[in-house]
Amino acid sequence: MYHEMTYRVPYADTDRMGVVYHANYLVYFERGRNEMLREAGLPYSEMERRGVIFPVSEAFCRYHAPARYDDLLTFRTWISEIRGARIKISSNVFCDGKLLVSGHIILASVTSELKITRLPAEIADVCKKFIWNEEETEK
């Protein structure tokens, strides 16, 4: 299953031509990721309380088409891999069903002492709710 949310593009996210800045797509990925983890019952504050933090170790973004001021975007976010100390979260951004950007980020599981650690089992179990194969057609 994937997580889905909508977001209306404010003028602040655009350049002077009213087109969304490329860097904002990574911010959109982060918004989708945060809301997905919150829905799974794991807001970042809870993970930090448990002594685990998740810095981004890799980010990839493939641009397909521009978004513009006042567009209503749909963020689709899912977990595409959980392995050892890493979790790969993929995202697509759509406008009216048209794919605008696709990509992923890889998070490393790190203790508060900044030591890489295997993803705690209870966190991995909760995250499994959003493991999804992109080729699947049903939510």
Question: Residue 113: what pLDDT?
Answer: 86
Query: What domain range is 64 assigned to?
Result: 3-130
Q: What CATH number is attached to the domain comprising 79?
A: 3.10.129.10
Set 13, 15, 71, 96: catalytic member: 15
As a whole number of Å, the end-to-end CA separation of the chain is 5
Q: What pTM, to 2 d.p., does this model score? A: 0.87
Quote the number of domains for the chain: 1
Taking the C-alpha atoms of residue 138 and residue 78, their distance in angstroms, rounded to an integer, is: 13
Q: 41-82: per-residue pLDDT in tens?
A: 888 788 778 888 889 999 999 999 999 999 999 999 999 999
Q: 67-78: per-residue pLDDT in tens?
A: 999 999 999 999
Q: Is residue 135 part of a domain?
A: no
Cβ atoms < 10 Å from Cβ of 87: 22
Residue 135's pLDDT band (cuts 50, 70, 90): low
Q: Is residue 137 part of a domain?
A: no
15 is catalytic: yes
